[in-house]
Amino acid sequence: MSSRRPTPPRGRSLRDKLTLLFFSITFAAFAVLYFLVVPELESNLREQKFEGLARVAEGSQASFDRLTLDPDITSPELDQRVERIANAIDARATLFGIQQAVGQGPSGFYVISDSREDPTTPENLPLVAEAVRSGELAFGDIRYRGEELGQVAQALTFEGEPSRVVLYSRSLEDVADTVAFVRSRMLIGGAIALLLALIGGAVVAQMLASRVRRLEVAAEDVAAGQYVEPLTDDSADELGQLTRAFNAMQEQLRRVDIARREFVATASHELRTPIFSLGGFVELLRDDDVDEAERRDFLDEIAQQVERLQKLAVDLLDLSRLDSGSLALDIDNVDLAEVAELVAKEFGPATSKHAIDLQLALPTHGVRARCDRERVVQIVRILLDNALRHTPPGTTVRLSAGSDSAGAAITVADDGPGLPPGKPVFDRFVTGGESQGAGLGLAIARELAGRMGGSLRASDNGGGAAFTLELPDAPR
């Protein structure tokens, strides 16, 4: 088993951080409500109270003006009418008189009447003076007998001069009670919300942390070279996608590892045969009893084995480059007919040696394709070499090129035994018949075709095998 990393210190694990995040967000939201929204609510309620008093003052001004214009009204009758007005507007009303200094403005105020039979009144003389000075409504508040009152002062005029002042008062305790009620309920609700956030955050964080930890443990096992059973996670979130990607990665790594082991084993086998053969021929050449004819035969065999080793080394290097993605391609517009004719000339001596008739079927106007010229030449060489090795002497190999709606193509067809039944001819180290090759050529050819955006397919043509390289058409 792989070594496990130690558990992170408290407060640094993903679980603790997510739990703290849930708690912090909830606490921040509660703090905003408590310290910003509640004071704003209190301010709005107080403002509504003062707006109501202002409307009351404006609506009652005519009634108080009539009182000031009636010189015959008695004090008891004045008290009764002030009380009736106050009851109608649901506010306490206090009527002040103004003391005038000789040749100067008002020097003081005195209570004329109050809507309540109370030996004391909620006097707010600075507010009364402000209303007289400005000639407009003046707003303020006062503590009276342990109760907070909101007040509006209104100056009454006679012949253009202030003659009386009405002070309207209403309790603000209901505002305080409402705000206190909201605060208490918010504190209770906030405490519950914080507790739920702490518990819920811990649960969610634990679930996420356990899923992450499971991926971590599996990754450590894979890094240690162990196979891990595919992880099950059916969720559609990012961790579920990561789990599925991990499973796909592990499966791909498993296939790559299997392919690597098979590759090493088969390559070792393929290298062992010619090396042992070379060793045997070298030992035979050391024998002094070998005549000149046998020596020449041995040297010919050695040359063939060396050629086989050289080809195998080149093929293995190409496969290594393809697997690592380091094989660079130079994509350009290429005339496939020209490529086919060039490779056919290269194989002239080989076809003559094998008594093979190589026939060309190429259009005179050429066949244009988007591909890497050198890699197409390499593929056609592989296909022709494969055809020569599997075609009996005295038969025909046909090399053709053309284009249709599917793209441009080069086809190599032979009159040999056809495709081996049940054998995946494009797999690595798969050979057909009595072939002495390593079985890498067709695998390399298919890889190269795919890298250029094309394909390589094999088919039986009735009396042999046909391999067709299809490539994208070049733009006209």
> Residue 436: which residues within 8 A CB-CB, separation 6 or more?
308, 389
- Shared domain for 347 and 313, answered yes or no, is no
| Residue whose token pair is 């494009």 | 426
CA separation for the pair 457, 446 (Å, rounded): 8
Residue 410: band (very low, low, confident or very high) from pLDDT cuts 50, 70, 90:
very high
CA separation for the pair 21, 34 (Å, rounded): 20
Here the CATH number for the domain that contains residue 335 is 3.30.565.10
For the record, the structure tokens of 6 come out as 């130690």
Minimal CA–CA distance to 253: which of 231, 227, 216, 218?
227
Residue 262: band (very low, low, confident or very high) from pLDDT cuts 50, 70, 90:
low
Specify if 233 maps to a domain. no
- As a whole number of Å, the end-to-end CA separation of the chain is 61
| Residue whose token pair is 């506010």 | 91
Is the CB of residue 468 less than 8 Å from the CB of residue 456? Answer: yes
Pick the last residue of a domain from 192, 224, 256.
224
- Shared domain for 335 and 290, answered yes or no, is no
- Shared domain for 199 and 127, answered yes or no, is yes
- Shared domain for 125 and 253, answered yes or no, is no
Domain count for the chain: 3
Residue 2: band (very low, low, confident or very high) from pLDDT cuts 50, 70, 90:
very low
- Shared domain for 196 and 67, answered yes or no, is yes
State how far Cα 306 lies from the chain centre. 55
Pick the last residue of a domain from 201, 224, 247.
224
Residue 432: band (very low, low, confident or very high) from pLDDT cuts 50, 70, 90:
low
Specify if 213 maps to a domain. yes
| pLDDT of residue 476 exceeding 80 | no
Q: What does the pLDDT read at residue 105?
A: 56
Specify if 99 maps to a domain. yes
Q: What residues pair up with 97 in beta bridges, in sequence order? A: 110, 164
| pLDDT of residue 104 exceeding 70 | no
Q: Does 216 or 384 have the greater pLDDT score? A: 384
For the record, the structure tokens of 123 come out as 């006097």
Q: Does 262 or 302 have the greater pLDDT score? A: 302
Minimal CA–CA distance to 340: which of 442, 409, 416, 440?
409
Is the CB of residue 407 less than 8 Å from the CB of residue 472? Answer: yes
- Shared domain for 350 and 447, answered yes or no, is yes
Q: Does 369 or 247 have the greater pLDDT score? A: 369
Q: What does the pLDDT read at residue 318?
A: 66
Beta strands 357-361; 331-335: pairing state: unpaired
CA separation for the pair 363, 336 (Å, rounded): 10
Q: What does the pLDDT read at residue 298?
A: 74
Q: Can you say whether the dihedral through the CA atoms of 460, 352, 431, 443 is positive or negative? A: negative
| Residue whose token pair is 């906030």 | 190
Average pLDDT over residues 62-72: 82
Coil vs helix vs strand at 252: helix
Q: Does 297 or 472 have the greater pLDDT score? A: 472
Q: What does the pLDDT read at residue 130?
A: 92
| pLDDT of residue 442 exceeding 60 | yes
Query: Each residue of 178-207: pLDDT tens digit?
Result: 888 888 888 888 888 888 888 887 787 788
Model-level pTM? 0.45
| Average pLDDT over the chain, rounded to an integer | 81
Q: Does 53 or 432 have the greater pLDDT score? A: 53
Here the CATH number for the domain that contains residue 290 is 1.10.287.130
| Residue whose token pair is 């080793």 | 309
Q: Does 283 or 362 have the greater pLDDT score? A: 362
CA separation for the pair 168, 152 (Å, rounded): 5
- Shared domain for 293 and 412, answered yes or no, is no
Q: Which domain holds residue 259?
A: 238-322
CA separation for the pair 407, 161 (Å, rounded): 105
Average pLDDT over residues 442-470: 86
For the record, the structure tokens of 17 come out as 């951080």
For the record, the structure tokens of 290 come out as 């070998």
- Shared domain for 92 and 5, answered yes or no, is yes
Please state, in angstroms and as integers, the Cα–Cα distance from residue 6 to each residue in 9, 18, 153, 196, 217, following that order: 9, 19, 74, 30, 12
Pick the last residue of a domain from 265, 288, 322.
322
Q: What does the pLDDT read at residue 3?
A: 47
Is the CB of residue 470 less than 8 Å from the CB of residue 418? Answer: no
- Shared domain for 68 and 92, answered yes or no, is yes
Average pLDDT over residues 39-60: 90
Q: What does the pLDDT read at residue 6?
A: 52
Q: Does 135 or 202 have the greater pLDDT score? A: 135
- Shared domain for 32 and 139, answered yes or no, is yes
Query: Each residue of 321-371: pLDDT tens digit?
Result: 666 566 778 899 999 999 999 999 988 888 888 888 899 998 888 889 999
Query: Each residue of 73-98: pLDDT tens digit?
Result: 888 888 899 899 999 989 999 999 88
Q: What proportion of the chain, given as a percentage, has pLDDT over 90?
A: 15
Please state, in angstroms and as integers, the Cα–Cα distance from residue 95 to each residue in 19, 113, 389, following that order: 63, 5, 126
Average pLDDT over residues 223-250: 79
Let me know if 62 is exposed, middle or buried by CB neighbors in 10 A (0-12, 13-18, 19+). exposed
Is the CB of residue 446 less than 8 Å from the CB of residue 426? Answer: yes
Residue-by-residue DSSP string for 338-361: HHHHHHHHHTHHHHHHTT-EEEEE
Let me know if 296 is exposed, middle or buried by CB neighbors in 10 A (0-12, 13-18, 19+). exposed
Specify if 476 maps to a domain. no
Give me the phi and psi of 472, to 5 degrees please: -65, 140
| pLDDT of residue 233 exceeding 80 | no
| Residue whose token pair is 């305790």 | 173
Q: Can you say whether the dihedral through the CA atoms of 82, 85, 87, 89 is positive or negative? A: negative
For the record, the structure tokens of 428 come out as 């690595």
- Shared domain for 336 and 454, answered yes or no, is yes
| pLDDT of residue 378 exceeding 50 | yes
> Counting every residue, how long is the chain?
476
Query: Each residue of 140-174: pLDDT tens digit?
Result: 999 988 889 999 999 998 877 888 999 999 999 88
Is the CB of residue 167 less than 8 Å from the CB of residue 93? Answer: yes
Please state, in angstroms and as integers, the Cα–Cα distance from residue 114 to each residue in 46, 67, 146, 270, following that order: 24, 13, 20, 120
Please give the DSSP secondary-structure letter assigned to residue 433: T
